[in-house]
Amino acid sequence: MSSERESILSNVWNLPREVSEVAGKDPGTWLQFNTHMVTFYQQTYGELSRFFLALKSCRLIGSHCKKCQQVMVPAATWHCPNCNFAEMEEIELPHRGVLAARAPITIFPSASFIDEAPFCRGYVDVATDAPIASFLPSRLMTTTGLPRPGIFVKGTELKLVFEDQRMGRIRDIFWVPVKELPSHLVDKKPLFASDLNFSSPPMPAIARDPALEGALRKAIEAMRSMAEQIPRSPRAQKDLAGRTHTISVRTAGGELTLIVAGSGLRIEDEPAKSPDFAMATRDPAVFTRWVGDGSLTDAAVEGTLWLPHRAAFAVLPILDRLPRSIRRDVRDRK
């Protein structure tokens, strides 16, 4: 949420100059050469400049047609395509909107956005009083942890948030659910990213349910028996090599801790004192399913496993590999 003065392309976007051999489906020797198709631009904002200048000064504007009363947001043109290109006028829009449809959460982004996943993107109806209106393509953020299903549903009331440092680009703004705001911020205008806390979201309340204690014991047992096989699985050790994580887990059946260290995994049946981060789920069986070749990532994507941030999400694919790696090594030993 900062706007550091960064280069457009980092050095990881590069390849050595070389021609290499590549295996195909047909026999023979085939070649490929490393190359690129990068173009830099100083891209004109032209008639869109007004919209982005407004964002810089914390205003959201649209273009309004007096004939058909439509509002275009963003102001993509100043001449109404519905009314024989009649001149449109600038209209200042509220910092409140409504999500037009449930919004998808991107887990597998394009190369340019690989560090941002998972993220949520949706269309916000801002000019709700206008009879005809376009929707604003928008970043959607939550202060309650990673985005997950159920937060950004059709009709969710949203509040516009401005980045503290604005450059004049669509990423100068994003939206948060109004119901996540403390009452003194609901009408604050403009609301800044620094007014909100995204870095330490509160863990959702999970009431203890004695009926799930057995499920927790079963999950811990399953994970421990998986962990015991790691020393005999080179693949699993490779998955964990060089990693150290202490992850607290809260479930309705009780708490536990996953400790990744020394290319191995340890399960404690109590919460860690200073974990790297904490996860939460009502149903401990999420972890039993993981060991049975399920997926913690899928549980997070479905929203049954709560995670505080991206760094936590990035650990899940590593953990997800373990059951499969062990199974393959067992098979190889046979």
Partner 1 sequence: MNKVAIVGAGITECRGRWVEATYWELFQQATRRTLEDAKMTADEVDSVVYGIYNDIFEHQAIPESTLTGLIGMANKPGVRITTGGATGLYAMRAAIQEVAAGMADCVLCIGGEKATDCFDPQSRTATPMVIDTIAKSWDPFFEYPLGATASDSYMQLCMGYDDEYPGDIGDSLVRAKIIEMLCRQGNKNPFGQRRDEKVTAEQVLASRWIIAPFLRLLEACMYTEGAAGVLFASEKKAREISERTGVPPIWVKGVGAANESYSPGRGGNYKPLSRIVSDHLAAERAYAMAGVRPSDIQLVELHDAFVAQLMITMGEMGFVPLGRTRNLVDEGVMADIRELRDDQPPPRGKVLINPSGGLIFGGHFVGGSNMFSMWSARREMVRRQIPLALIHGTGAINAVYGGAIVIELGDDPGKSPTGDGGAQ
Contacts with Zn ion by CB under 5 A lie at 65, 67-68, 80, 82-83
- What does DSSP say about strands 157-162 and 173-177: parallel, antiparallel, or unpaired? antiparallel
Task: Identify whether 231 is preceded by a cis peptide bond (ω within 30 of 0).
Answer: no
Give the whole-angstrom CA distance, residue 26 versus residue 112: 33
Cβ atoms of 309 and 142 closer than 8 Å: no
Residue 201 per-residue DSSP state: P
Answer yes or no whether residue 20 interacts with partner 1 by CB under 8 A. Answer: no
Cα–chain center distance at 171: 15
* The entry of partner 1, Zn ion, none that residue 67 binds, CB within 5 to 8 Å by partner kind: Zn ion
If the CB atoms of residues 16 and 242 are measured against partner 1, the closer one turns out to be 16
Cα–Cα distance between 159 and 98 in angstroms, integer? Answer: 9
The footprint of partner 1 on this chain (CB under 8 A) covers a number of residues equal to 66
Q: Which stretch binds partner 1 (CB under 8 A): 197-205, 230-238, 254-262, 296-304?
A: 296-304
Say which entry of Zn ion, partner 1, none residue 93 contacts (CB below 5 to 8 A, set by partner kind).
Answer: none
Q: Residue 324: count other Cβ atoms within 10 Å of its Cβ.
A: 14
Task: Spell out, one character per residue from 240 to 279, where the chain touches partner 1: x when CB under 8 A holds, - when not.
Answer: ----------------------------------------
CA 114, 233, 260: angle at the middle one, nearest 5? 55
Residues 24-53 that bind partner 1 (CB under 8 A): 24-26, 28, 30, 32, 34-35, 37, 41, 43, 45, 48
Smallest distance from the beta carbon of 71 to partner 1, in angstroms?
9
Question: By CB under 8 A, what part of segment 88-127 binds partner 1?
Answer: 100-114, 116, 119, 121-123, 125
Taking only Cα atoms into account, the Rg of the chain, rounded to an integer number of angstroms, comes to 25
For partner 1, the binding residue among 137, 182, 202, 214 (CB under 8 A) is 137
Would you mind telling me the total number of residues written for the chain in this entry? 334
Q: How far is the CB of 307 from partner 1 (least distance, A)?
A: 14
Instruction: Closer to partner 1 by CB, 122 or 284: give it.
Output: 122
Query: 125 is written with which tokens?
Result: 């109806």
The tally of CA atoms less than 13 A away on the side-chain side of residue 161 is 25
* 85 scored as a contact of partner 1 (CB under 8 A): no
Tokens representing residue 23 in the block: 């295996």
Q: Which residues contact 71 (CB under 8 A, 6 or more apart)?
A: 62, 63, 64, 65, 91, 93, 126, 127, 130, 132, 133, 134
Our finding on whether 14 is near partner 1 (CB under 8 A) is: yes
| Contact footprint for partner 1 (CB under 8 A) | 12-15, 22-26, 28, 30, 32, 34-35, 37, 41, 43, 45, 48, 68, 70, 72, 74, 76, 81-82, 100-114, 116, 119, 121-123, 125, 131-135, 137-139, 149, 154, 169-171, 295, 297-298, 301-303
